[in-house]
Amino acid sequence: MTTALEVRVLGPLEVVTPAGTAPLGGALRTLLAALAVDAGRVVAADTLADRLWEDGGLDAGASTVHSYVSRLRRRLEPQRPPSGWQVLRTRAPGYQLVLGAAELDAEEFRRLLALARGRTDPAAGREDVARALSLWRGPAYADVPAGFARAEAARLHEQRLEAEELAAELDLALGRHRQVAGRLPALVAAEPFREGLRAALVLALYRADRQADALRCYEEGRRLLADALGVDPGPQLRRLHELVLRQDPELDAPVPAAPAPTAGTGPPAAAPASRRPALPTPPTPLLGRDDDLARLHRLLDGGARLVTLTGTGGVGKTRLALAAAREATGRADARFADGAVLVPLATLDDATAVVPAVARALGLGAVEGPGARDAVAAHLHPLRLLLVLDNLEHLLDAAVDVAELVRSCPHLVVVATSRAPLRVAGEVEHRVEPLALPAAGAPAGEVLSSAAVTLFCDRARDVVPGFRLDEGEVRVVADVCTALAGIPLALELAAARVRVLGPRDLLARLDEALSGGRRDLPERQRTMQATLDWSCGLLDAPARGLFRRLGVFSGGWTLPVLEAVEGPAVLPLLEALVEQSLVRVEHGDDGARFSMLEPTRQHAQRLLGDAERAQAQAAHAAAHLALAEEAQGGYQRDAQVGWLRRVEREHANLLAAVDASCAAGDGETAGRLVWAMWLFWWMHGHLAVGRRACEAALDLPGTSPRVRTRVDLALGAMLFAQGEHQRAEEVWERAHALAARTGDHHALAHAVAGTGITALARGDAASAVQRLRRALPLAAALPDASDGPWLRSLGHAWIGTALTALGGERGGGPEAREHFETSLALSRARGDRLTTFVALYNLAQAEAPHDRDAARRRLHEGIVLSAQVGDLANLSHFLESLVVLDAAADGTGGRGAPALSATLLGAARAARDTVGSDVYGFYVRDDAQLATARDLLRQRLGEERFAAAVLAGATLRTADVVRLAVEGTVTATATATATAAAAAPATAAR
């Protein structure tokens, strides 16, 4: 079968049709991945359903699968062929994705890899491997989180590593050890236990006359294997080490054979060397670009002949292009026998001047007029040359001439730098991203080894040779680099100021620090403002206006939100900003998300006038208020996970909308925003942020009584969650009084329930029962489309809790149990995870004394639901209850695995510390039982092993915590961490 369709899975999943890249939503992307992993084979509809809905969600089922298949077919084949669907076929008992090897990049990768392994000529095999590796655009199935895709991605990753090993082996056989020595360090660092890669690097370093580095590379691998796994290197790597130590001739590089002359061609008609200037050598080393260089070499080795490096101004495109050109032309092969030529274009202002500039760089002198391109092409035709065209973004009309030169000159390769792609046939775009930043809260060693901080410190030492950071300054420099978004030009400009500013002063004066640069830089690169002004100058007036107004966004945006702010005609303007690298775009499960690097966003803000800023902020706030109020109802129903994730992504924008509304004195908008957001803040633990927003909106003028009451309700929730129960009760009583005066029944139900749970949290169970019973009919009287059903289900759970506390009996008796069961039934009917896990927690406490298995099932379900909605505070309560339950079961710490229980204690503490509060102050807890369980675990494990297990739990990801709690297992990496901690010598126990 042959179609014009390509399915690409070696990176983010893409479908390329003759009309371009087909848009796929999250569900269709997962469906296509579920078919692609078994391409050519029939996949049963039930299997597809299992892959689409691993958690057995409400949408799971064959009928929904069929609906999704129909939608996917239209994406793959917009017009149904007369003979029927060709790509996605119906074959009992399911469906079959029919693609040729060239149409599915994973299959093409495997085909090329098998072809390379069967070659007897290492050069031909190396070309096959290069073509195979060039198909990779990132981790396989990078944007499909489902388990089946992750398993297939792991298999493909293993095959990719095998291809890298084969590439290194063939390069060494061809005498290309210097290229291997330059390419492999980053890969070996990423795969430290891969002995084949390490052996190739050791041999390459040795052959490159770097014996000390070769021995150091071996020793690092030996130490890693010993420390992590307790084993020695394999026999092949150990033998290689011995041969290096004695400088055995067996390790000498092969002598490359001279290339045979091609019949009918003489030596290339190269221009005299004296007329071709050498590539400039920058005065400072290129840092943090090993992965980019490796990717460029894979593209060039794989046959790419027109590569465009795109990216924002100052990101280092020119430096990267020159470094790649120097390495490519320094090889022993004849690919670029005629070297490389740089053609700087920044000073040109006319696209017709590009070809004459190329002619001058080639030493042809003045070549002008209509025949200029043909004359340059005739000169380049026999040459094996790499042409670097630098700064082409303002001369894009010359892209056709560039493409024609590549087409007509069989051995010419062009690497162009541009803030926008050229949009011509044969172009391969490589996006140059800012340097990697340290993670928030990373330890000092990790901060200092990050690419952005490394560059900053290196350039700082250029101006202050003794530049050093003390422990307190490491985090400050990390903040500097983060504020500058890892843009190399910005980092270099800021680092040059350390001669007069310490790191803390520099952070406070970043705008000043970026206002001047080296005199030998082009004018457009002497300041960040000049760099960004250069990019803005390439836009028309409407696009410049949009660029300015985008400065009011924070944390990115989606196209629907932007259309709500700017109107439906904004897409062409947004595309222009993306093309000029002023706006970034990332594709995720929920579609495209756009953003600006922070220095770019700040520049856009500086360009806004007061009137335009006020108008943009008002439109931004209105759009995000609509989003927040739509999400508000979703938090209480089965769609809450999706809404919580979406609002988490928009959180920075929503806070910016609150701040702008408060600054404008718009209390109505600010108050409606905080009321729409309070439950999100509660569940995701953003309590301090939510409290500040509520307090800011509290006393703004012009706020209606209805909104003023709801600001108090939201503030009371934040105070309660932070443990300030007395203050929360005062605020809720104030809301109660205002709601009673204005006849606001909705607010009245919330306020009465709020005062009920504060009484419960303060230990006044009798008042709590009375108040909560009064709140229940108020909630029941509210419409179904309001918060009434949600308050009813919570009210039943809270009444049961209060009855339990009032009776002093664990379990609370049959009346309490009846309320818990009613709450659970109401919650499940709406698909509301929050009220479900509140009921589950209380039922688990009620069942624990007489049915531990039932209680454990309740806790397991609550743990899963807590993780689904991202409620870490609730997760901590459930984990601790599970530890108590298991300790009570056998008095040893549970299920014969005290280390597991201690690990869960550490995970619970870390979850609570992340939020900073217990939040669920209405839960009835027995802290004495928890203390007893903790003492039992400490006694069983010994102090050292107990502390190690707790520490291991604090480092686990939420998904691993859930797996450990529910299944008793975690991923291999997490298991190694936890078991290593638990296996520490139990000296205290002895």
pLDDT value, residue 234: 84
Decide if pLDDT at 61 tops 90: no
Max avg pLDDT among 481-485, 579-583, 883-887? 883-887
Cβ atoms within 10 Å of 137's Cβ, excluding its own = 15
DSSP state of 482: H
Decide if pLDDT at 186 tops 70: yes
Handedness of CA 507, 513, 515, 520 (dihedral sign): negative
pLDDT value, residue 117: 86
Cβ atoms within 10 Å of 247's Cβ, excluding its own = 11
Residues in the chain: 990
C-alpha distances in Å from residue 284, one per residue of 319, 460, 491, 500, 558: 10, 12, 14, 21, 39
Decide if pLDDT at 463 tops 90: no
Decide if pLDDT at 458 tops 60: yes
pLDDT value, residue 227: 80
How many percent of the chain have pLDDT more than 70? 89
Pick from 678, 652, 681: nearest CA to 872:
681
- Section 83-110 average pLDDT: 81
Decide if pLDDT at 342 tops 50: yes
Decide if pLDDT at 619 tops 70: yes
Q: Please report which confidence band the pLDDT of residue 811 belongs to, taking 50, 70 and 90 as the band edges.
A: very low
Give the whole-angstrom CA distance, residue 90 versus residue 314.
52
Pick from 30, 47, 42: nearest CA to 89:
42
- Which residues lie closer than 8 Å to 637 by C-beta, 6 or more apart? 830, 831, 832
Decide if pLDDT at 67 tops 70: yes
One-letter-per-residue 3-state SS of 376-440: HHHHHCCCCCEEEEECCHHHHHHHHHHHHHHHHCCCCEEEEECCCCCCCCCEEEEECCCCCCCCC
Decide if pLDDT at 743 tops 90: yes
- Section 391-419 average pLDDT: 91
- Section 90-98 average pLDDT: 82
- Section 183-207 average pLDDT: 88
Decide if pLDDT at 873 tops 60: yes
Give the whole-angstrom CA distance, residue 214 versus residue 202.
5
Decide if pLDDT at 935 tops 50: yes
Strand 6-8 versus strand 14-17 pairing type: antiparallel
Residues paired with residue 389 on neighbouring β-strands, in sequence order: 343, 416
- Section 13-36 average pLDDT: 81
Decide if pLDDT at 333 tops 90: no
Cα torsion through 376, 382, 388, 393, rounded to 10? 40
- Section 542-547 average pLDDT: 92
Residues paired with residue 584 on neighbouring β-strands, in sequence order: 595
pLDDT value, residue 49: 83
Decide if pLDDT at 689 tops 80: yes
Which range, of 25-39, 101-115, 316-330, 500-514, averages the lowest pLDDT? 500-514
DSSP state of 104: B
Q: Please report which confidence band the pLDDT of residue 329 belongs to, taking 50, 70 and 90 as the band edges.
A: confident
Half-sphere exposure of 409 (CA within 13 A, CB side): 28
pLDDT digits (tens, 9 = 90+) for 226-265: 887 778 888 888 888 888 888 877 888 775 544 433 333 3
pLDDT digits (tens, 9 = 90+) for 128-165: 999 999 888 888 988 888 888 888 888 999 999 999 99
Decide if pLDDT at 520 tops 50: no
DSSP-derived secondary structure for 558-627:
-HHHHHHHH-TT-HHHHHHHHHTTSSEEEEETTEEEEE--HHHHHHHHHH--HHHHHHHHHHHHHHHHHH
Give the whole-angstrom CA distance, residue 855 versus residue 847.
5
Which range, of 498-502, 615-619, 795-799, 800-804, averages the lowest pLDDT? 498-502
pLDDT value, residue 1: 41
Q: Report which residue type is found at 450.
A: S
Decide if pLDDT at 276 tops 70: no
Q: In whole angstroms, how large is the CA radius of gyration of the chain?
A: 32
Decide if pLDDT at 738 tops 90: yes
Decide if pLDDT at 60 tops 80: no
Strands of 138-296, DSSP E: none
Decide if pLDDT at 412 tops 90: yes
**Six-digit token pair at 675?**
């009321």
Give the whole-angstrom CA distance, residue 756 versus residue 759.
5
Q: Please report which confidence band the pLDDT of residue 981 belongs to, taking 50, 70 and 90 as the band edges.
A: very low
pLDDT value, residue 794: 95
Cα torsion through 933, 936, 942, 947, rounded to 10? 0
Residue with more model confidence, 525 or 469: 469
Max avg pLDDT among 66-70, 442-446, 453-457, 514-518? 453-457
pLDDT value, residue 485: 82
Q: Please report which confidence band the pLDDT of residue 114 belongs to, taking 50, 70 and 90 as the band edges.
A: confident
Pick from 429, 387, 379: nearest CA to 408:
379
pLDDT value, residue 270: 38
Give the whole-angstrom CA distance, residue 653 versus residue 668.
18
- Section 363-392 average pLDDT: 86
Residue with more model confidence, 282 or 580: 580
Q: Please report which confidence band the pLDDT of residue 24 belongs to, taking 50, 70 and 90 as the band edges.
A: confident
**Six-digit token pair at 493?**
């400009």
Residues paired with residue 95 on neighbouring β-strands, in sequence order: 43, 90
3-state secondary structure of 217: helix
Decide if pLDDT at 303 tops 90: no
Q: What is the mean pLDDT of the chain?
A: 84
C-alpha distances in Å from residue 749, one per residue of 740, 795, 871: 10, 10, 24
Decide if pLDDT at 990 tops 60: no
Q: What pTM did the predictor assign?
A: 0.62
- Section 839-853 average pLDDT: 91
pLDDT value, residue 989: 28
Decide if pLDDT at 973 tops 70: no
